[in-house]
Structure 1
Amino acid sequence: MPDSTQLLMFIAAGWLLNLTPGPDVLYIVSSALKSGVRAGMVAALGIVSGCFVHVFAAALGVGALLATSATAFTLLKWAGAAYLMWMGVKLLLAKGGDSSIVPAGVSAEVAAVNLWRVYRQGFLTNVLNPKVALFFLAFVPQFIAPGTEDKVTAFLLLGLLFNLNSLPINFGYAWLAGWASRRVGAVQRAMHWMDRAAGLMFIGFGLKLALSDNPSR
């Protein structure tokens, strides 16, 4: 494990990286704007769950496989790009103001299904992006001391810290977006435009991923 100075640097770097807008932040914000803070937080939990998959995969060598195998990287890359673009098209075709959370008065079972959908989409948005696995493979080992005997355990612990460290940032995005949706009437009235903008951005992220090369080359 890193010493206290390196650990503080790791935490600070993680916060800065999580503040950077991308598909994850876009999904959290759009979920919170449409359906409130709770939906945004559920979206954040789905995204972090996807990160845990990549941490374990990288620790077990799957990340190294993605970094060295063009075929494995390409297959996962196209799957992730297709999913991002599918989400984008879905948002473009959505009716304005459509919410992921059902209104008050419906059964708790129905509400749970919709929250699960928000979680699942956040999870898939992250887990189908091979660059997340490669990011952990490139970023985390820099903070593992060369003399560490059990590097796999150290990698897993740092990956766990990075993911838990991201929750305050992601929850903050959800809270701010939910706060705006409750207090700015124009946001609610123009929700269909937000859907369209988010849809175009997801399609853009998908195209960018589809056209990207394996970073190991």
Structure 2
Amino acid sequence: MDYAVALAGLAVVHLLAVASPGPSTVLVIQTAAVSGRRAGLLAAFAMMLGALVWAAAALFGLQVLFARFEWLYLAFRIAGALYLLYLAYMLLRHAGAPLPEADPSAANPSAVLVGAWQGFLKALLLQLSNPKVMVFMGSIFISLLPAQPPSWMDATVLAIVALNEFTWFALLALLFSGGAARAFYRRTKLWLDRLMGGVLGLLGARLLVSEV
């Protein structure tokens, strides 16, 4: 197998998966719109870190452990579902609250920084609480990579995952933290938060009852 072709195929398939709408997309958009550019970029960085953890786990054997101990995978899946339901509840609960000021020049800088790191933590927990990320990565690794890749190829795979994840979510953060997007979010916050909360709730319920 040509290594360059395999890596190019992996990059395309993974990027398409990252760009597909899901709870990560919802959370980064909401974080950027509510808390501003810094928080959105930190959330994007957290998504990248979480994806790297699962990618490394898929490369180095945790998927085998999940297959052997089904209760461990089930525990991760339930934890992920409950966390999604919690995020949905918080969005729905605070849908009617006014949009906080995200401009550091017009707000308490320490409060802005705290909000940004809270967004980072929420995003990291979301990514780490979903073992399906690792299952997906494991499946594309098996399908697209040689059976015994050289060590440099493992490092390249992790670099591709990091680049795809951060680039996509950073673009979302920059787009939805802009003035026009933030003004739109301010006008429609009640209904957008309800919509995003409903989407996260449905995804959490789906993850909770799914068999795989």
Cα distance in 2 for partners of 1:204, 1:188 equals: 24
Q: In 2, Cα distance between the equivalents of 1:130 and 1:183?
A: 32
- Cα deviation for residue 5 of structure 1 reads 2.3
Any conservation in 2 of the 1:88–1:202 contact (CA below 8 Å)? yes
- Answer yes or no: is the 8 Å Cα contact 1:51–1:126 preserved in 2: yes
Any idea what SS the aligned residue of 2:207 has? Answer: helix
CA RMSD of aligned residues (A): 2.4
Shift of 1:31: 1.4
How far the C-alpha of 1:106 sits from its partner, in A, is 4.3
- Structure 2: unaligned runs, 5 residues or longer: none
Cα 1:125–1:100 shift into 2, 3 Å: farther
- The answer to whether the 8 A contact 1:64-1:137 is kept is no
Q: Distance in 2 between matches of 1:139 and 1:114?
A: 35
Contact 2:33 2:181 in 1 (8 A): no
State the distance in 2 between where 1:138 and 1:183 align: 36
Q: 2:202 matched to which residue of 1? A: 204
**Deviation, structure 1 residue 103:** 5.2
CA distance in 2, matches of 1:118, 1:183: 18
Distance 2:166 2:132 in 1: 20
Q: CA deviation at 1:33?
A: 2.1
- In 2, the alpha carbon distance for the partners of 1:11 and 1:37 equals 26
- CA separation in 1, counterparts of 2:48 and 2:7? 20
TM-score by length of 1: 0.85
Q: For 1:78-122, what per-residue CA distance to the aligned partner results, in whole angstroms no more than 9, with x for missing partners?
A: 111111100100111114334484753444333222111000000
2:51–2:161 Cα contact (<8 Å) kept: no
Residues 111, 35 of structure 1: CA spacing in aligned structure 2 closer, same or farther, 3 A cutoff?
closer
Note if 1:88 corresponds to 2:68: no
Q: How many residues are matched? A: 211
CA distance in 2, matches of 1:144, 1:125: 27
What's the offset of the Cα at 1:204? 0.8
Amino acid at match of 2:168: I
Cα displacement string for residues 131-190 of structure 1 (whole angstroms, at most 9, x for unaligned residues): 01111211123333235355xx633531331221222222222222223x5357443122
Matching of residues 177-216 of structure 1 within 5 Å: 177-179=176-178, 182=180, 185-214=183-212
Is the contact between residue 24 and residue 126 of structure 1 (CA under 8 Å) also seen in structure 2? yes
Residues 1:112 and 2:81 aligned together: no
| Deviation by residue 1:50-86 (Cα, 9 ceiling, x = unmatched) | 1122122223322222234220111111111111100
- Partner Cα separation in structure 1 for residue 98 and residue 67 of structure 2: 41
Q: Which moved more, 1:128-137 or 1:36-45?
A: 36-45
Contact 2:35-2:116 at 8 Å conserved across structures: no
Opposite residue 175 of structure 2, the aligned amino acid is L
Q: In the alignment, does 2:74 pair up with 1:74?
A: yes
Is the 1:42–1:115 Cα contact (8 Å) retained in structure 2?
yes
| Greater mean deviation of Cα atoms: 167-176 or 77-86 | 167-176
Q: CA deviation at 1:206?
A: 0.6
Q: Which amino acid aligns with 1:208?
A: R
Question: In the alignment, what sits opposite 1:31?
Answer: 31
List aligned pairs for 1:1-217, cutoff 5 A. 3-94=3-94, 95-99=96-100, 101=102, 104-148=105-149, 150=151, 154-179=153-178, 182=180, 185-214=183-212
* C-alpha distance in 1 between matches for 2:135 and 2:168: 22
Cα distance in 2 for residues equivalent to 1:90 and 1:145: 44
Q: Distance in 2 between the 1:121 and 1:100 partners? A: 19
